[in-house]
Structure 1
Amino acid sequence: MKKNIAIIMGGYSSEHNISIKSGNVVHKYLDRDKYNAYRIVITRDKWYYLDGSNREHPMEKSDFSIGVDGKKIQFDCVFNAIHGTPGEDGLMQAYFELLGIPQTSCNHYEAALTFNKRDLLSTLKPYGVPCATSYFLNKGQTINEEAIVEKVGLPCFVKANRAGSSYGVSKVYDKKELGKAVEDAFKEDTQIIIESFLDGTEVSVGVITYKSEVTVLPATEIISENDFFDFEAKYMGKSKEITPARISEKQETNVKQLAEFIYKALGLKGYTRSEFIFIGDEPHLLEINTTPGLTEESLLPQQAKTAGISLEELFDSAIVEALR
């Protein structure tokens, strides 16, 4: 008997439209011989099932069900394609855990931890995971430019602490630019993180659970035409993404081992994509995404393809593992 799969997409953040694209790709490639796939759009105002004629059918939030043509439909599994809140920060995960519905991403605590860059790096520091020097700032606090520059140096990166797709990120070369960069970051979040600039090769590494095994996918080398891997570089063709990355055998071994260690140490499951910058042969962690982009052009699908895993197999494996 076919399983009913809810593909949740959208969300409340600036990544809403990117998430819709990811969700539509999942919907396109799910095996219809095995699954009944339903596109479920999540917004602040409403949750609804979007049928093939683009008609909206409201969700019943008490049990996450829908009514279609007088029939109540409930779901065997949720495929999480929401980037940002509430799909990547633990809120949806906690909701589904309470309802007892399996879902494809990591559990609520791990999602909240990894979505919070400051908490993530603080948690991993005792394990010896290398990362940039950082300075934390909350909305309402005084901006001490001298203290910031003294700790992280220039240039530095100012980032929204809980955001993705490079929203709220600026590269700052001059102390005078800090105020504007902080202001931009606070448009995305009430917390920010300011990090030292790491000058080296940037790579992205996908780690997934595939056929019951933790699997590290081939690394992707990121070469941005812009000053860094910003929104334009990620989504508007302003970068080269080379898979597998042009790195040495030692670098490849080091980054794969570190990515797998982090995945296991944090108790992650489902898909993750971690970003690193090499200083010499040592990879330094930037961040972890637990609901990475899933379009045909996105990094994780690129890496899976290089590893010989099709989109059909990639998406099917996430559901199989969630149901397991």
Structure 2
Amino acid sequence: MRIRVAVIGGGQNCEHDVSLASAAGISDALRSQGHEVVPLTIETDGTWRDAAGRRIELADAVRVLSTCAVAVPAVHGPRGEDGTLAALCELARVPYVGSGVRAGAIAMDKWTTKLVAQSVGIATAPGRLLTATTAGSYAWTRPVVVKPVAAGSSHGVSMVSVPDGLEPALASALALDDRVLVEEVVSGREIDVAVLGRPGGLRVVAPTLEIRVDGMFDFEAKYGGSSTFTVPAHLTEAETAALTEAAVAMYDALGCAGLARVDFFLTAEGPVLNEVNTMPGFTEQSQVPRMFAAAGTSYGDLLDLMVRDVIEG
């Protein structure tokens, strides 16, 4: 069955270019599956553009959306992944791939996600929430990671190993968000778990992925080619079971739908949650497609499945 699919890329945030890459990959893969793709792009200034690159008003974008059977909001970060585009699709009454408004908003907020994790018994790194007003009162005592509460692709994230590094790290994070999370450094293996929710409450968990990098998995490591992905990660059965259980628990506690990537540090004491991505990077070379490919589900087949699940679910 040929399906008319709107794919929304870009966005008004620091992940604009990453989102464009995801949207382009998704569009090509869906076309290869025989679907009709209708691209929509949001520029960094909030301007919408149609498939021909023409500037259109929001009302026109909604009209285009309403001609499609399903939408794929491939916008990472604020004003996209945080539930904003899910809300637009809800109001336009257009079915869409991925999590709804509530799950997107909560998962995008790293501090709130920590509180949810703790409430269901999943460990998180000890941390503090700071604002521009309170940041000056924070005293460095040990190595910490400083990050914006609601940003992605590791933008504004810094490892602070010496006292003099704290002030510029806080400034970098506060440039992207008015709230900042300061967390103690967790020593452990970086393991990603991808969870796909399917109709009927089924949860499909892909083979785990381990990230290996010299230093911190920051923006340069993510997109500069200096990191190594191992799929499946070399884990014991007990480690895999613990990570899977924690990932599904977070997926359900947040109320996620479609695909989500749940990132952990695997320590000697067990999994420690890092973050949850309800719209993770989605080119063919991104973590989640690699994880499902390791289970025999190709990039195109995965996207086809996600689109059909929305229509049939």
1:156 equivalent in structure 2: 144
Specify the code of the residue in structure 1 equivalent to 2:143: P
Which one has the bigger helix percentage?
2
SS at match of 2:123: coil
2: distance between equivalents of 1:58 and 1:199? 48
TM superposition shift of 1:176? 2.3
Shift of 1:2: 3.5
Structure 2: runs of 5+ lacking an equivalent? none
1:148-196 residue CA offsets vs partner (Å, 9 max, x unmatched): 53xxxx2110001100000010001112211111001011111100001
Separation in 2, partners of 1:237, 1:165: 14
**1: CA distance, partners of 2:135 / 2:19:** 35
Q: What is the TM-score when the length of structure 1 is the normalising length?
A: 0.91
TM-aligned CA deviation for residue 91 of structure 1 = 1.0
CA distance in 2 between counterparts of 1:94 and 1:11 reads: 15
Counterpart-to-counterpart distance in 2, 1:233 and 1:119 = 26
Match of 2:261 in 1: 273
Report the CA distance between 1:57 and its aligned residue: 5.7
Alignment RMSD (CA, Å) = 1.9
Is the contact made by 1:207 and 1:260 (CA closer than 8 Å) also made in structure 2? yes
2:46 aligned residue: 45
Separation in 1, partners of 2:26, 2:107: 23
Distance 1:142 1:57, change over 3 A: closer
Question: How many angstroms apart in 1 are the aligned matches of 2:125 and 2:232?
Answer: 24
Do 1:209 and 1:321's aligned partners in 2 also have CA atoms closer than 8 Å?
A: no
Does residue 1:64 correspond to 2:59, yes or no? no
| Partner residue, 2:116 | 123
Q: CA–CA distance in 2 between the matches of 1:73 and 1:190?
A: 35
Alignment match, 2:94: 101
Structure 1 residue 31, shift from structure 2 partner: 4.5
| Cα separation, partners in 2 of 1:309 and 1:161, compared to 1, 3 Å | same
| Larger displacement relative to structure 2 (266-275 or 135-144) | 135-144
Count of residue pairs brought into register by the alignment? 310
- Please state whether the residue corresponding to 2:71 is helix, strand or coil: strand
Q: Report SS of the residue matched to 1:285.
A: strand
1:85 deviates by 1.9
The equivalent of 2:103 in structure 1 is 110
- For the Cα contact (< 8 Å) 2:83–2:102, is it kept in 1? yes
Matches of 2:97 and 2:66 in 1, distance apart? 19
Structure 1: how far apart are the matches of 2:3 and 2:293?
Answer: 26
Instruction: Report the alpha carbon displacement of residue 204 of structure 1 after superposing the two structures with TM.
Output: 0.8
Q: Deviations over 1:197-240 (max 9, x none)?
A: 11111111111124752111111111113x21011111110111
Report the 3-state secondary structure (helix = DSSP H, G, I; strand = E; otherwise coil) of the residue aligned with 1:102.
Answer: coil
Uncovered stretches (5+) of structure 1, i.e. residues with no partner: 67-71
Aligned residue identity for 2:134: Q
Q: Identity across aligned pairs (percent)?
A: 28
Q: Is the 8 A contact 1:63 1:99 kept in 2?
A: no
Return 234-243 or 261-270, whichever deviates more: 261-270
Paired letter, 1:133: P
Identify the range of structure 1 (34-43 vs 56-65) with the bigger mean alpha-carbon deviation: 56-65
Say if 1:88 and 1:111, in contact at 8 Å, map to a contact too: yes
Residues 1:295 and 2:288 are matched in the alignment:
no
Change (3 A) 1:142 1:198: closer
| Equivalence for 2:24 | 24
Cα distance in 1 for residues equivalent to 2:54 and 2:51: 5
TM-score (norm. length: structure 2): 0.94
State the match for 1:222 in structure 2. 211
Preserved CA contact (<8 Å) 1:5 1:77: yes
Q: In 2 relative to 1, CA 244–211 (structure 1 residues): closer, same or farther, beyond 3 Å?
A: farther
Matches within 5 A, 1:154-303: 154-210=142-198, 213-225=202-214, 227-280=215-268, 282-303=270-291
